[in-house]
Amino acid sequence: SEQVRRVEMFFFPFVGGGHQIPMIDTARVFASHGAKSTIIATPTNVLQFQNSILRDQHSGRSISIHSLPLPDDAVSPDIDMSATPFTDTSVLREPLRLFLLEHRPDCIVFDGFHRWAADLFDGLQIRRIVFTGNGCFSRCVTENIRRYVPHERVGSDYEPFVVPGVPDRIELTRSQLPPFAREKSGVFDKMFKTEEKSFGIVINSFCELEPAYVEYFRNQMGKKAWVIGPVSLCNGNVADKAERGKQASIDDQTCLSWLADKEPGSVLYISFGSLARLSPQQLLEIAHGLEASKHPFIWVVGKIFSKSRGEGEGGGEENWLPSGFEERIRESNRGLIIRGWAPQLLILEHAAVGGFMTHCGWNSTLEGVSCGVPMITWPVSAEQFYNEKLITDVLGVGVRVGSLEWMSFNVEKAALVGREKVEEAVKRLMGGGEAVVEMRLRAGELAEKAKRAVEQGGSSFKDADDLIVELVKVRL
């Protein structure tokens, strides 16, 4: 109210669903805290997000999306960005610099994965804030492994070691570490350098979820961080929940009416996020495991890797399913397969959904937590094995499927998780044993805490307000 004019915040997401979706939600969060939010995107991104931004504008949120003018000769840098999170986005560097010079916002919140951005802002007199897309737990684990665990001393691949210095006893094996976490320099060094030069870091998490790690991140690692999540909770209405980032491949009504006649807490939702590609062999094992478990499920089949055809969307090639599988699940009304993109938030918050088989991407993890749904953890790559530890060992809201190895994009070499393991994990989580009853209670409590955190007076609400106040106070 004391503001002479609104604080103007720019948001510059990285590529891939897991980076863009939470950044757009972060722009929404700050808009609802009184900022004027502008999302900077590439032409393809604008197309993807403009419907949802229009809805925001209709409901009075001060938010807009702009495309950077790209040089004519640029290979559209956002076209195949979902293929690898290490895409070089440096073609955006000069257009972004010019855009910033022209508009001079109070700050730019940018994804730390734009590794060329470290020195872009030098001399621009524009405050920079980093968004990392991870929680504090995984940041602390990453940091301490880099600092204290020499690569050669970690031991044999499957031999567990204890992560030094973090608040809980966390055991990992070398096979679960991202290759880039073991390197001395590279991606992370650049990201950290960018962070050091920044005004601070915006984190999509909430203090009550990982208090010891938020504290560690701030006080031991010395980071200035505003913890403002779960940002997905800013999607209030059905349309916003149904369409995040991409148009869902299923009509939300079809999805909701399929769920409507299921028992509360009886359905397992299965998704591996926006990037992971599973092999047909692995999908076959999942299908057998699900069928043998006899529990109802919604299974999102995104990208599939096939040796002969390379990668593709979940449509078309059907020979990975056991014969007659789809007919059987359709007739018994026991399963729903979504090929492509699912309205994940709508599904997770539905009362019929009682379990989430997840690859432990940070956004999925937080969304599962926010909806009070216990999880079957099946990490695949990135920092997902760390998130698995948080879910199972620290929070006690999940059971492991037993995935042992970081597979990244080398799907063919990945160790298969067999159908028995899938069946066993599903039965354990969905079968209603005593341990799971407690898990459900804990998950429900966390969901309550998540909601309180983003409400007025909550910890995340306060952090978002604090950042805006600081930006006003110290206007350059």
Binding site for ligand UDP (CB under 6 A): 16-18, 21, 244, 271, 273-275, 300, 341-342, 344, 361-364, 367
Closer of 120 and 347 to ligand UDP (Cβ): 347
The distance of closest approach from Cβ of residue 443 to ligand UDP in the complex, given in angstroms and rounded to an integer, is 17
How many angstroms separate the CA atoms of 170 and 257, rounded?
A: 42
Tokens of 452: 């309180």
Closer of 38 and 274 to ligand UDP (Cβ): 274
Angle between helices 43-58 and 17-32 (to 10 degrees): 30
Q: 19, 114, 295, 350: which one is catalytic? A: 19
Return all residues near 340 (Cβ < 8 A) that are at least 6 apart: 248, 249, 300, 302, 313, 314, 315
First to last CA, the chain: 20
Quick check: 116 and 122 in contact, CB under 8 A? no
DSSP 413: G
Residue 267: Cβ-neighbour burial (10 angstroms; 0-12, 13-18, 19+): buried
The distance of closest approach from Cβ of residue 119 to ligand UDP in the complex, given in angstroms and rounded to an integer, is 27
- Helix ranges restricted to H, 151-310: 179-182, 187-196, 211-215, 238-242, 252-260, 280-293
The distance of closest approach from Cβ of residue 243 to ligand UDP in the complex, given in angstroms and rounded to an integer, is 9
CA–CA distance from 190 to each of 12, 18, 119, 195, 474 (Å)? Answer: 17, 20, 10, 9, 27
The distance of closest approach from Cβ of residue 98 to ligand UDP in the complex, given in angstroms and rounded to an integer, is 30
Closer of 349 and 424 to ligand UDP (Cβ): 349
**In sequence order, what are the beta bridge partners of 63?**
37
Quick check: 298 and 336 in contact, CB under 8 A? yes
Tokens of 24: 């757009």
> Which residue's Cβ has the minimum distance to ligand UDP?
18
DSSP 394: I
Give φ, ψ of 40 to 5 degrees: -100, 130
The distance of closest approach from Cβ of residue 57 to ligand UDP in the complex, given in angstroms and rounded to an integer, is 22
The distance of closest approach from Cβ of residue 367 to ligand UDP in the complex, given in angstroms and rounded to an integer, is 5
The question of whether 111 is a catalytic residue gets the answer: yes
Closer of 229 and 361 to ligand UDP (Cβ): 361
The distance of closest approach from Cβ of residue 471 to ligand UDP in the complex, given in angstroms and rounded to an integer, is 27
The question of whether 19 is a catalytic residue gets the answer: yes
Closer of 20 and 62 to ligand UDP (Cβ): 20
Closer of 23 and 207 to ligand UDP (Cβ): 23
The residue written with tokens 């510059």 in the block is 12
What is the length of the chain?
476
Closer of 42 and 364 to ligand UDP (Cβ): 364
Closer of 121 and 341 to ligand UDP (Cβ): 341
Q: 106, 111, 240, 463: which one is catalytic? A: 111
Residue ranges with strand state E in 99-193: 107-111, 127-131, 160-162, 171-173
The distance of closest approach from Cβ of residue 201 to ligand UDP in the complex, given in angstroms and rounded to an integer, is 17
Residue 289: Cβ-neighbour burial (10 angstroms; 0-12, 13-18, 19+): buried
Active site residues: 19, 111
